[in-house]
Amino acid sequence: MDHQKALEWLADVLGVNGRTLTIDDTRTTVREWDSLGSLLLLSRLEEDHGIVISADEIEEMDSIKEICDILERKRTFG
């Protein structure tokens, strides 16, 4: 998987400006990853990539790596 593309996509989804996301970022280090950010992520996973997960599953995720793992399992970014 192209992690850089995944990180850029996540930064766009979450509206992160002024810095670059890393695979080591977590919900606590990404201030934009609040409840609205989770809803946007849920929506864009389905809309952009056909990945359907529940709101409960998205709320249980605590790291950017967990999201990248889902994207990788679905072969989203190559």
Q: At the fourth CATH level, which superfamily is domain 3-73?
A: ACP-like (1.10.1200.10)
User: Where exactly are the structural domains of the chain?
Assistant: 3-73
Query: Which pTM does this prediction carry?
Result: 0.90
Give CA separation, 19 vs 32, 69, 75, in Å: 12, 22, 26
Question: Quick count: other Cβ atoms within 10 Å of Cβ 68?
Answer: 20
Lookup: tokens for 30: 């990404």
**Average pLDDT of span 4-24:** 95
17 Ramachandran zone, left/alpha/beta (phi>0; psi -120 to 50): beta
CA angle 16, 78, 26 (to 5 degrees): 30
pLDDT value at residue 77? 79
Q: Kindly tell me if the per-residue pLDDT of 15 is higher than 70.
A: yes
